[in-house]
Amino acid sequence: MAQELALGVMTQFHQPPREALEAVRALDIPTVQVGYPGQLDSADGVAAIQDASAQTGVEITTVFCGYAGESYADIPTVQATVGLVPPSTRAARLDMTHRIADFARRLGVARVAAHIGFVPEDAADPAYRDIVETIQGLCDRLAGQGQVFALETGQETARGLRQFIGDVGRPNLRVNFDPANMILYGKDKPIPALDLLMPWIDGVHCKDGRWPTQPGQLGEETPLGQGDVDLRRWLHRLIELGYRGPLTIEREISGEQQRRDIAAGRDLIRSLIAE
């Protein structure tokens, strides 16, 4: 198990696992959440990842689901294309989620996370009941494998998410709290939201961003500390409420700038938690 408040980074295995985790180790970051690497979903792939993790000492804390056909272009497109909520793709994506959870189990990772999409805010909406039942079934399946399922925040209010968690009513349902998403989707204020959701938060994304300026558009992601999250207050409140899990940096760009922003974010988080 990672030490308390271990730094982490959201990582994709675009390179071979050993190279990818060595790059994380070079940043002096001891944990990762990884996007599901379909190309490594084999006995050899699992062995290669486990070997890379053992050799580098970088622990994988979560496998994140992603689905073909998703687009984050703007809010209506996210609503129509992302996660398990859209009915036309739900069955196929549920099968994919089962496959991802099985992969995570073979890898020895007990936490699977996803954006499930825009859950209707009206609990009387029949579509709401459908998605509650879908997540109940998924949680039950994962519980049988000793796993938890974490909901990535951002596409609903904290109050709406709390209602949903209560209605699903499964003990292995968790929250992966991304404060920037709440802002980027214009949904909620991330610091009061912590108080509402704390009992379920077992992972976070340290990410920053600015509020949207036009209806229907997403806000703009920024390097950590440069957006509207108020990282200092958010982090201090998170810790004050008792959170001790990994602090996983997420920076959704690529290349050298991403590496620099992650390194700067790491230094910023270290200095804030030492205050």
Binding site for Mg ion (CB under 5 A): 178, 205, 250
Both tokens of 93, joined, read 């994506």
- 156 vs 250, which CB is nearer to Mg ion? 250
CB 196, min distance to Mg ion, A: 18
> At a CB cut-off of 8 Å and minimum separation 6, what does 139 contact?
149, 168, 170, 172, 173
Contact 31, 10 (CB under 8 A): no
Question: Rounded to 5 degrees, what angle do the CA atoms 54, 57, 63 make?
Answer: 80
Closest CA to 178 of 217, 253, 135, 231: 231
CB of 126 to Mg ion, least distance (A): 29
CB of 181 to Mg ion, least distance (A): 6
What SS3 class is residue 126? helix
In the DSSP assignment, the letter for residue 58 is P
The span from the CA of 31 to the CA of 21, in Å, is 9
| Complex with Mg ion: residue 102 or 230, whichever CB lies closer | 230
Least separation, in Å, of the C-beta of 44 and Mg ion? 30
Q: How far is the CB of 152 from Mg ion (least distance, A)?
A: 5
What six digits make up the tokens of 32?
């990762």
Q: Which is nearer to Mg ion, 208 or 250 (CB)?
A: 250
User: How many other CB atoms sit within 10 Å of the CB of residue 116?
Assistant: 24
Looking at beta carbons only, is 111 or 205 nearer to Mg ion?
Answer: 205
CB of 153 to Mg ion, least distance (A): 8
Tokens 């904290």 appear where?
A: 158
Nearest to 187 by CA among 118, 98, 95: 118
Smallest distance from Mg ion to CB 92, Å: 23
Q: Which is nearer to Mg ion, 59 or 250 (by Cβ)? A: 250
Neighbouring CB atoms inside 10 A of 35's CB total 17
69 or 72: CB nearest Mg ion: 72
Report the residue number, 178 or 208, with the smaller CB distance to Mg ion.
Answer: 178
Which residue in the block uniquely carries the two structure tokens 């950590």? Answer: 224
